[in-house]
Amino acid sequence: MSKHPHSLKRIKKHRKNKAFLLNLFSEKCIELTPENYSEICRQVDNQLLEHCKSNIRSYQMARIEFAKYIKRFNLSSNQYYPVPAAPVRHERSLPLQNIETLKHGKKVTQFAQNMIAYWAKRNDFSPTQSLGFCLISSILFNGIYNHAELQFFLKIILKTKKFQSFLNLNHMVTLEIPNRNFGNQRINDPDFSVSYTKTFVLHDIVKCWIYRLKHQKFDLFSDIEDAEHLINACIIECFPEEKVRCKDLLKYGFYYTQFLKNSGLDQMSICILKNEIYSSSPLEKQLEAYFVQFEQKHTNNIKVENTCENHQNHSRVNIASDIAETLVEIRQAIRAKNYKDQLIGLYSRELSPALERLLLWTILRSKLTETQLNCLNQIIQQQKRFERKLIRADFQPIKQSSLNTMFSQFAIDWLMATQDRDISSFSNADFEDMYGEMLLLKKETTRETLQKRLQEFHHKQTLFFNAPTVDLDSLIQVKICRTALISPHIFYHTLEQLENTQDISIQDKNIFKLIFILGFRVGLRINETLNIFVRDLFISEDAVILTIRNNRNKNQKSYSAYRKIPLHHLLKADELHTFKTYSQNRKRLLKERLCCINIQKLSSPQSIQI
């Protein structure tokens, strides 16, 4: 047996779990009789669910242990109690990807893509359509491939009056359905009913439809009994030319779910729902803030009322519906092929200050062509957004998918924190307090990533909106990146080769030597070393400071790479004197060259005519 601490910890945890299961089974089996067998099994199952929480694997293994215990109990007490059903993972064999599956699976995949595109374009869904799409989503995204399970899930939705529990994060739904294929088939006792329990976590897309159903009237649902008829009616009504039906979805839905891993889903929506939930607010408010998940034709107010069925005081969402609609338009524009033109078109409209800043940041993070940049400059000048042009803006282009993720990381947080507040009058303390609250709402594992995104976002605000500088590094614990530096052997070998090179002047050799020494002592990246300009050096009588930052021709990996390095602590006296002399001479030559260029322009014939 291994004596590694991790191994010992796992063994200790395993023994503790075994002791818990044996204690539970023995306590329950003392009261076991043929009359209460089903009830005892149900109590054990409920306690196993409560003990394992969201760990489905542990729950499955506990069910197997319970089945083994009943077998041993039957042998020791000479009883004939049915062995409990096998866990969910034994419910069916793994799907085979044969020719028939490929043919029908591709049809289901195409249907799913058309359905998602249909959801993106429309918002006027009837209650029956919402319920139908909820059931279809439970098949495609929750893995319900059994008609009995689908029918049972429909009854749960129709009989549940309060939907708040469905909107909780990681909400688990338990389905108890008679199973003829598993259990002890040799005992045909009418007093025993063999059943199994299937537990699944509601997918975020299913939650969205349940949320919509919560805000719709349920009068039309009194006559609904068959899930298959409801799904087929929804498909025929919304997709008249579609030939896929409920039976096809139940039989081949696994192809879309398992083999293609839900390709084509709204990844930004899923990211918002899974990772960007406020720790201090329910999922419901997040849905109201980001998605237009309510009937617009029934809402005349600017803000949406929360029509919970508990008839308590109505609560209002934090973000107005017009802002939510604009967010949806931005989200759809980012996913489009011509997303840059669409974003510029949205920026030309009248927006709130917070939305204007978010949208401008999103545009600047994409790589604009010269035509698009001119169009954006024209909008800025005509509408007098700010005085500065964007010709020399320090663009840092990223991929479209990364833009989706980065926009979704803090868009809602920013709008909620700045709504009904004058951002232009914010001080650096106000910004720090706001960013600090946004970071505290995140998990510790994601705070560092969000801090970098906020630093980039605030950098754009300081450039274009005259925002004060903010030290975001102090808001979270600084983490040092460990990296393998160049070895001393290679460094000294490089200096030796430099000394042996004949076609370089002594002055250039000395400067190259200083650069190699600085690179070795400071640990600069190659890209950072090549990106150093003369203006990045601050030279005074007693100090020489090198600033590592983005320049127009080269960008760093991120704005977190911005830092100042005091060179006077790293160089010897003679090295520092040589470096200061060289830098000052370079600055003097640059100034003389600029003066010559300006004199030539002034003395040219065109300038005289003007």
The predicted structure's pLDDT at residue 530: 65
On the question of pLDDT at 395 being above 70, the answer is no
pLDDT for the residue 430: 83
**pLDDT at position 318:** 47
Contact 246, 231 (CB under 8 A): yes
Report the alpha-carbon distance of residue 240 to residue 219 in Å, rounded: 26
pLDDT in tens, 439-485: 877 777 777 888 888 888 888 888 888 888 887 776 665 444 444 45
According to the 3-state scheme, what is the secondary structure of 360-384? HHHHHCCCCCHHHHHHHHHHHHHHC
* Region class of 425: left (phi > 0), else alpha (psi between -120 and 50), else beta: alpha
CA 502 from chain centre, in angstroms, equals 56
86 band by pLDDT with thresholds 50, 70 and 90: low
Contact present, 459 and 465 (Cβ < 8 Å): no
Give me the DSSP letters along 119-135. Answer: HHH-----HHHHHHHHH
User: From edge to edge, which strands make up the β-sheet containing 544-548?
Assistant: 537-539, 544-548, 563-566
What's the CA dihedral at 305, 307, 312, 317 to 10 degrees? Answer: -30
| Tokens representing residue 546 in the block | 């090198």
Find out whether 161 and 309 touch, Cβ atoms under 8 Å: yes
To the nearest 10 degrees (0 to 180), the angle between helices 444-464 and 353-364 is 100
State what percent of residues in the chain have pLDDT above 70.
Answer: 70
Residue 135 confidence (pLDDT) above 70: yes
Structure tokens at 182: 């598993």
Residue 398 neighbours by CB under 8 Å, 6+ apart: 365, 366, 406
Helix (H, G, I), strand (E, B) or coil at 196: strand
User: What tens digit of pLDDT does each residue of 484-519 get?
Assistant: 455 677 778 888 888 888 888 887 788 788 777 777
Q: Is 200 helix (H, G, I), strand (E, B) or coil?
A: strand
How much of the chain, in percent, has pLDDT values that exceed 90? 4
Mean pLDDT, to the nearest integer, of 542-565?
67
User: d(Cα 28, Cα 228) in Å, to the nearest integer?
Assistant: 40
Mean pLDDT of 291-297: 39
* 309 confidence band (pLDDT: 50, 70, 90): very low
Q: What is the mean pLDDT of residues 524-537?
A: 70
Closest CA to 547 of 529, 565, 560, 559: 565
* pLDDT tens, residue by residue, 203-241: 777 877 887 777 776 554 456 778 999 999 999 999 998
Residues 576-582, mean pLDDT to the nearest whole number: 80
First-last CA distance in the chain = 92
* Residue range 243-273, pLDDT digits in tens: 899 999 988 887 777 655 544 454 444 443 3
Residues 62-82 have pLDDT tens digits of 888 888 888 888 888 888 887
* DSSP sequence for 14-39: HHHHHHHHHHHHHHHHHT--TTTHHH
Cβ pair 286, 273 in contact under 8 A = yes
Residues 6+ apart with CB under 8 A from 455: 472, 559, 560
Contact 97, 259 (CB under 8 A): yes
Estimate to the nearest angstrom the gap between the alpha carbon of 21 and the chain centroid: 37
* pLDDT: which is higher, 445 or 345: 345
- The secondary structure of 477-541, three-state, reads CCCCCCCCCCCHHHHHHHHHHHHHCCCCCHHHHHHHHHHHHHHHHHCCCHHHHHCCCHHHEEECC
Is residue 232 within 8 A of residue 246, CB to CB? The reply is yes
Q: What DSSP state is assigned to residue 443?
A: -
94 compared with 206, residue with greater pLDDT? 206
Look at residue 482 in the predicted model and tell me its pLDDT. Answer: 40
292/583: higher pLDDT: 583
pLDDT of residue 89 exceeding 60: no
Binned at pLDDT 50, 70 and 90, residue 38 comes out as: confident
Amino acid identity of residue 439, one-letter, is L
Mean pLDDT, rounded, of the chain: 73
Q: Whole-model pTM above 0.95?
A: no
Look at residue 486 in the predicted model and tell me its pLDDT: 58
Residue 12 confidence (pLDDT) above 50: yes
